[in-house]
Structure 1
């Protein structure tokens, strides 16, 4: 694991990607994919990510109702969430430019991995 991959901003980007994947696989929406949502999360990571974490269970339930393939994918994504929570917690302050770049990198890399594995199940 590279130094960047251990940084809180990178992990937060991966967490946002996991939450977006759950939303898409379960609820069939892509609100977390919108540019404004990504910007808002980088400006207030702790508030926004915790808000989206509270909805994660609802997305898992929705995925189960969509069928076995969706349920399995949502379960795998959901179980991976703890690995994306920074050891010292989600930053409560806005990410600076360097951290925002790491956030985007983590988000894009993790989302690509999910799309490669579960792309057919996305909304």
Structure 2
């Protein structure tokens, strides 16, 4: 993986982390934080990343109703989504074994960053 151009699997991990935190900040729902949910995304990213990606604007709207701190965080997270969409604009249908490791690295790296910047809001 090049530092300048993360792999599609790595980006998908970052995207999943972003959607998880955005959902948590906006709605308080931590369903995307469960290992079972991550396992589904690892098997079929296109199928299981698509729905929360489609709900991203709803998460922002919910956060805005909860106050300025959550609104600011949600706006930042929403804008970050475009950085993590795969370069070809497609979510992969499946990931190979090595790609699953890249996804996991991207997820954990992004979650560590969000724990620092938005940890108190991730309820």
TM-score normalised by the chain length of structure 2? 0.94
TM-score normalised by the chain length of structure 1? 0.94
Q: Which residue of 1 aligns with 2:30?
A: 30
Q: Which residue of 2 aligns with 1:106?
A: 106
Tell me the number of residue pairs that the alignment of Structure 1 and Structure 2 aligns. 121
Correspondence list, 1:67-78, <5 A: 67-78=67-78
TM superposition outliers: structure 1 runs of 4+ over 4 Å: none
Correspondence list, 1:1-123, <5 A: 3=2, 6-88=6-88, 89-92=90-93, 94-123=94-123
Q: Cα RMSD between the aligned structures?
A: 1.2
In the TM superposition, what is the alpha-carbon distance from 1:50 to its structure 2 partner?
Answer: 1.1
Q: Deviations over 1:26-65 (max 9, x none)?
A: 1101100100100101111112111111111111111001
Q: Would you tell me which structure has more helix in proportion to its own residues?
A: 1
